[in-house]
Structure 1
Amino acid sequence: MANPYSGIPDHQFWRRAMSRQESFRLDPVTATGFSIAVTDRVATAGSCFAQHISRSLAGIGFNYYVPEQPAPDLPAAEATRRNFGVFSCRYGNLYTARQLLQLFQEAFGQRSPVETAWRRPDGRFVDPYRPQIEPDGFETEEEVAAARAAHLAHVRAMFETTDLFIFTLGLTEGWRSKRDGAVFPLAPGVAGGSYDHGRHEFVNFSVHEIEQDMQTFMHALRRVNRRCRVVLTVSPVPLIATYEPRHVLVSTTYSKSVLRVVAEEISRSFRDVDYFPSYEIITTHANRGSYYEDDLREVNGLGVAHAMRIFLRHYPAAAQPAPAAAAAVPPTAPRPAEAMAAAAGAGAAGAGDPVAALLAGPAGIVCDEEAIDHIRA
């Protein structure tokens, strides 16, 4: 008897695609909307997890695009400390779609935020929209403004010239100014400034609000760079804290569900926008939690390596050499216990090994959210 499920591929059936599949072999990508050449400029932005993508792309030979570079005479260690190269520009974590949209608008002269500098307890000043980008802060508010102007010029150049933009949606919760709606990566008073109930408010963005923000951003991006393709991902990292009066697990589930819906809607609505399922690869219960560190929050190197292996399987253009070291990322990963041992061995094998870098833990990942936990403690 004929039925509409007759003849559809195995990957559309749970039992065939999941129950009978070893988790390390999981590949949920069934099609992509475009390919990436090794010469394509690839820019990244988003939440903490986006930094794993940035590092991995750079380590395996893609053209990771970083227009905001340190001065030539700045030592490498100091450049790293000051967050050069963490993302394509030094914008810090862009956790929400509203932050991304407002950054774009400011870079192209379409908005000027009211709050321009926050004072720290030590008397130094920080940029409210990237408060931890300069560990030592700034001596004056004028220095903050000058640094931001230079930063925005790089952001503008990035959006105008990149070939691919990878954005990781991270949070729905945030803090904003009541005066102009500007959204901050951290609540005032955490890394600078002072919380004022009359000037600041908590917001938990809805599906509709985030989808509208992403649609507005996409149309704006198309106006300045029609050739730019976009890959959207959702961060698999749970919320470090919620301001909603409920359990953090419930807020995490809400947040990630909303962001996943938005990513789906935007990828369906715009040509040359793909959703890459790193969220599903990391969080599926088929892994039994093996892709998380002991805190059940940070993604470990095994999870990052699995996600990037799938990315490399599907996105590089066929008629080109594979990115450096791409062949070294195994097509199938060992079982979790074996992989952990292999990761430990890779870590001892020597610096500069891109595979070892993929398997490394979350050390050095810059996450503004962490400041919330530290100040609570």
Structure 2
Amino acid sequence: MIFRTEITPLKSKQNIDHKDKIMLIGSCFTQNIGEKLINSGFQTSINPFGIIYNSFTISQCLDYVLENKSFTKDDLIENNGWYSYSHHGSFKGHTPEDLLDKINNEIAQSHKFIKETKYLILTLGTSWIYTHNDTNKIMGNCHKIPSSQFTKSLLSIEKTIEVLSKSLDNFLKTTNQNNPKIIITVSPIRHIKDGYRENQLSKSMLHVAVEELLKQNSKIDYFPSYELMMDDLRDYRFYESDMLHPTPQAIDYIWQKFSQTYFSHDTLLLSKEFEKLHKLKQHRPFDTTTKDYQLHLQRIKDLEEELEKKRFI
């Protein structure tokens, strides 16, 4: 008897390996997969603007990074500290100058990285956008500013396709890598603060937009993280206590499916070795002066050198 609907994504014709650079932009699910990639030894850059959810801000982030475009004070807002209209709240400054230094340094570093990026992974979270009434700017995060200062609306399917298509074409022209690839996924995390029906409407619009992007460009792949969570796991034991975010077990399952889709057998084996290295680095001794701990550090150093050589074989 079959007790669940298991999803097996089609094996990608193009494999990611440890020589490739990967940039991820989007929702907190991007953060989950990005950290898995880092722990598995991949050269990875995650969310230059912090966690962001709507397609307009994701596209804006990509454009600024590709063009190495700097933010100015006009792009900031003050609310018990200085924030950016386009960034996650983790980008905060006591002064405009502090924040602009942090933002523009991150853009400059990400610009260098993206020129060598072979795989761009986007996770779209919502079609709902919040426009600041005074400035007419679309917010990446509302930074606890009163809702009366915003107009809430849906970013149309046509506009979603337009902004993403333009930014993705720009990426393909900018990267110096041969045969670059874009992987798009829809975040499985429900935005129920918008309302249950409103969340379904939002996610449905994202799916329609992504389908059109897939038809337009053969360089774009779709990875079904949304379907894996909603139709494969589909059980509240795979959700955190908020009943919205996936548990570590669920993230591990989706990561396993991602690995099987985009990694060769050799890459999977090397990933396991990098994961062992990561676990070794997590060890925190009571006494750092012991001979055993010094041997432990030497073992880490030796393994790092060995794996770095394997990366480019």
AA in 2 matched with 1:103: C
TM-score, normalized by length of structure 1? 0.65
Whichever residue aligns with residue 32 of structure 1, its letter is S
Residues 1-377 of structure 1: pairs in structure 2 closer than 5 A: 21-23=2-4, 26-61=6-41, 63-66=42-45, 87-89=46-48, 91-107=49-65, 108=67, 115-121=74-80, 124-134=81-91, 137-177=92-132, 182-187=137-142, 190=144, 197=149, 200-225=150-175, 227=177, 228-242=180-194, 248-284=195-231, 287-318=234-265, 320=267, 322-325=269-272, 352=282
The code of the aligned residue for 1:116 comes to D
1:327 deviates by: 11
For structure 2, the 5+ residue unaligned runs are 284-313
Per-residue deviation, 1:173: 0.9
**Which structure has greater strand proportion?**
2
Q: 2:240 touches 2:247 (CA, 8 Å); kept in 1?
A: yes
Whole-angstrom distance in 2 between the partners of 1:97 and 1:49: 15
Give the partner amino acid of 1:234.
Answer: V
Task: Give CA-to-partner distance per residue, 1:269-311, whole Å, 9 cap, x none.
Answer: 2122110111111111763333212322011122111111111
Q: Give, in whole Å, the separation in 1 of the partners of 2:233 and 2:204.
A: 19
Query: What is the TM-score with the length of structure 2 in the denominator?
Result: 0.77
> Larger helix proportion, structure 1 or 2?
2
Deviation at 1:30, TM superposition (A): 2.3
Contact 1:163 1:229 in 2 (8 A): yes
Q: Shift in Å at residue 321 of structure 1?
A: 6.0
How many angstroms does 1:170 deviate by? Answer: 0.3
Q: Whole-Å Cα distance in 1 between the matches of residues 132 and 190 of structure 2?
A: 25
RMSD: 3.1
Measured after TM superposition, the shift of residue 105 of structure 1 is: 2.9
Matched residue SS, 1:29: coil
- In structure 2, what residue type is equivalent to 1:222? L
Unaligned runs of 5+ in 1: 1-19, 67-86, 243-247, 329-348, 354-377
User: Aligned pairs, how many?
Assistant: 278
What does the per-residue CA deviation read over 1:45-66, in whole Å, with 9 as the maximum and x for residues that have no partner? 10011111111112233x1323
In 1: Cα distance, 2:137 partner to 2:72 partner: 6
| Matched-pair contact (CA < 8 Å) for 1:114–1:179 | no
